[in-house]
Amino acid sequence: MTTYQVTPHDTRTAPDTRPSAAAKPVRWAADAVAAMREGARLYLDYSAQSLWRVDRMIDEIRRDGAPYAAVENALRGFGAYAGEVIARQTGAEWWATGGDHWIRTPDGRLWDPFDEARRCFAGNGSLRLLCRDATGAGQ
């Protein structure tokens, strides 16, 4: 099934070729990019290098003592952003089941950037290292 985005003038644009599982994570990532640009003056460009800044931001939030419940949505956005970085660099696809989302890289491996964002907040994870492992950049 091909889906089209329809503008108010009812002209059709290119078909949306991304799987429907990508809809929410792509939106969460875009929201995180906008929030960081507007609130923290942090510019995220969907590059692997930008994940250094995201890891540092999560580290600062943790050091400030923010309770998890207060930053849960931000962490979700950061995880989605890391997943989008991986997807754009490797051609990976978002997969979803039961409300959970993962990235599936072309080699068939599944990655959970949301869990990694939570681990980063707990002090024992890194979205930058997740991306490095998922893209094979460290090999």
Q: What is the pLDDT of residues 43-81, one digit of tens each?
A: 999 999 999 999 999 999 999 999 999 999 999 999 999
Beta strands per DSSP E along 27-136: 93-97, 100-104, 110-111
Q: Give the residue carrying structure tokens 């600062």.
A: 60
CA distance 124 to 27: 26
List C-alpha distances in Å: 74 to 33, 68, 120. Answer: 10, 10, 12
Q: Tell how far CA 103 is from the center of its chain.
A: 9
pTM of the complete model: 0.84
